Structure 1
């Protein structure tokens, strides 16, 4: 294609960006040559420049105006195209990838869909913790900065996780923890496993048959030796009488919700100075699943106001404390509905699980299997986490039929943080 043809396309506004660049470079050469020629003519023939350039300058000015208009038009089109792309990419990515805010809307801030997801997951798997606040702030398309605040019930302190979800997945080990858990990674390299405060392996692992020791003959031993139990209780006895302790306890045999209700009323409702903050539920055959699932029988989890989510679909999903119950209302019935509702709720949140809980084989199918097992076998409590005055913790371990004791923490008094 000749320069004349390209230049004609340039004037008509149909030239490509490459052709526009070519024409502008040629025009720049023309201007330089013109300046040089005029300078030479002016030096050799003073006064001749005015005779030769009057019409030429008019044509050059016209060309410059055309060039400027075409250039401005090209820049404007490029800018508008980029702006449209940016504006559309956000909503499109929000529909393609996980959007933590899609669903129940916030009322006061940090209490919307993402909060409910985190709160239910925390109660199921994090003994001694509750989620108080959770927020996801949109960033680049398909990206969210997330922050979750949990309360450590034993120490009465708040712990915060912050990270970044990109295209439906947490940014893995590249995502940072803040505060107490900074730069702590678990064996899989995921910051999430540490943050969710799963119980230590040897707390409930013996009952699940996912943790054992070996005897002198090399045989696997899942039963905790009695001398280990006695040793832990003796160490608790050496603490000042004002001390408080948090301990995992497992029972000789799983108990029904009716039996657990009697135990709960005896130790928590009637005596005081002792809290059962977690009840571990048998959800699979021994050795099949390494995860522990349970609930907080006191209902200390924090949820939005009633009516935020469909309560007919998830009855008693919002924790209800024993103090709120009417006289004679069966705790065991509420616990059963609450626990099964949590399993159903999490199985309905696959995108949250993929983004925020992709550890230890947890998935939508995992909760479906748990729900199926509980439906077939009923809810059986095989262990608890208790917190309270050290004398009450010792009494509980000595008076109940227990086969495992794992002291998680201790402090000098109820006021200690």
Structure 2
């Protein structure tokens, strides 16, 4: 059917007096002829403008019977709905792309001063300073300005539209020569707000490492016998454990030492120092003086070497103790400057963070080590009981022998 034939049959079609074959031909022609569809669209527009469909005068003007009006209106409505749906889908796609771009810009602009980088570094430093022998590995450099998702090792971060950043960061600890994932720290950001949640590998994590500061020793007379018995149990456990095992252990000292002195003290033993418990002037001041210092409950320290304490492109060797202490103070200052984020990330009581007080004490008094976490073969750890400066040993995780460096390893995800 062409337009001329449509014009001839139009009146009959509008009044619903055509045969099924003629109606089908008209419908097919209307699908492909905008000019002829305009006739029906004008009638439909007039009807919808007045808010009524079947008013008699409109029916007479357009030549439409009620049945035909219903059919045309129904078809137009479906057509409009499909068009609206397509438009909304396209709009959502554009907004999603634009939202991701703006979110990436919002969280990453500024490199080391960006919102995402400062939150990540705060979380990593606070984890390593308050959780003995646990690290939160991050990529060393700040992220590029624009990305939607980045992953490394067992960690990842995803930038979503509408100013949302969702980080899933692995928490790892060293037992022997190997590191194992004990859980993840989820850090979710919405604009400047920060929410955290910890997911442990086995649903929960039991930590056994603790310390006593030398100032606490004079107050331990009441429960000194219990503490001594606990220490004997630890040495006995190391004696019973088979030779083909490795373990981690926390040791407290009867006085404070420098990092150099601690390294010299333990140099003859075949073990690794993974964490130093540091005096910050707050030990025993905001808690029961007789209670041990543990994870998120009074213990504060630093890993033997953490890349998170370094600035970009800086390096430090095992021998650069002074430089390492300088980086530690810079990291403490970073936490002080980002205390608002730190209080949201900290798992313990935020009122006990006391970042400014700790920082000022270490700055004035230097690095004072009153305990360490060490790891190595269980029989080697057992030898530490002969050191007069050591007390209150606390045995942590135990693993199978891995006290050697493999020539090759790979990770499959």
- TM range, smaller chain: 0.5 to 0.7
3-state SS of the aligned residue for 1:241? coil
Unaligned runs of 5+ in 2: 1-45, 139-154, 287-296, 405-413
Task: Give the whole-Å Cα distance in 2 for the aligned partners of 1:352 and 1:181.
Answer: 28
Work out whether residues 149 and 161 of structure 1, in 8 Å CA contact, stay in contact via their aligned partners in 2.
yes
Task: Give the whole-Å Cα distance in 2 for the aligned partners of 1:355 and 1:103.
Answer: 22
Query: Does residue 243 in structure 1 map to residue 245 in structure 2?
Result: yes
Work out whether residues 248 and 386 of structure 1, in 8 Å CA contact, stay in contact via their aligned partners in 2.
yes
Work out whether residues 188 and 195 of structure 2, in 8 Å CA contact, stay in contact via their aligned partners in 1.
yes
Pairwise CA distance, 1:24? 6.9
CA deviation map 1:184-243 (0-9, x unaligned): 4xxxxxxxxx6xx9x65x712676869x98x8xxx5x36863232122202211122232
> Residue in 2 aligned with 1:264?
263
| TM-score, normalisation: structure 1 | 0.59
* The 10-residue stretch of structure 1 (368-377 or 115-124) with the greater mean CA deviation from structure 2: 115-124
Query: Does residue 161 in structure 1 map to residue 160 in structure 2?
Result: no
Pairwise CA distance, 1:267? 2.2
Task: Give the whole-Å Cα distance in 2 for the aligned partners of 1:370 and 1:386.
Answer: 24
Taking structure 1 as reference, are residues 376 and 149 closer, same or farther at Cα in structure 2, changes over 3 Å only?
same
Task: Give the whole-Å Cα distance in 2 for the aligned partners of 1:91 and 1:205.
Answer: 50
> Residue in 1 aligned with 2:396?
408
3-state SS of the aligned residue for 2:358? helix
Taking structure 1 as reference, are residues 159 and 24 closer, same or farther at Cα in structure 2, changes over 3 Å only?
farther
> Residue in 1 aligned with 2:276?
279
Query: Does residue 141 in structure 1 map to residue 130 in structure 2?
Result: no
Task: Give the whole-Å Cα distance in 2 for the aligned partners of 1:340 and 1:356.
Answer: 20
What is the root-mean-square deviation in Å for CA atoms of aligned residues? 4.7
Unaligned runs of 5+ in 1: 1-22, 39-51, 185-193, 312-317
Pairwise CA distance, 1:247? 0.9
Work out whether residues 252 and 390 of structure 2, in 8 Å CA contact, stay in contact via their aligned partners in 1.
yes
Taking structure 1 as reference, are residues 389 and 102 closer, same or farther at Cα in structure 2, changes over 3 Å only?
same
Work out whether residues 100 and 162 of structure 2, in 8 Å CA contact, stay in contact via their aligned partners in 1.
yes
> Residue in 2 aligned with 1:104?
112
Matches within 5 A, 1:287-326: 287-289=284-286, 290-297=297-304, 299=305, 301-302=306-307, 308=312, 320-322=316-318, 325=319
Task: Give the whole-Å Cα distance in 2 for the aligned partners of 1:24 and 1:181.
Answer: 67
Pairwise CA distance, 1:164? 5.3
| TM-score, normalisation: structure 2 | 0.60
Pairwise CA distance, 1:282? 0.8
Task: Give the whole-Å Cα distance in 1 for the aligned partners of 2:346 and 2:110.
Answer: 18
CA deviation map 1:91-144 (0-9, x unaligned): 888899xx47763399xxxx9655544432333122222222354322242422
Task: Give the whole-Å Cα distance in 2 for the aligned partners of 1:160 and 1:347.
Answer: 26
Query: Does residue 119 in structure 1 map to residue 142 in structure 2?
Result: no
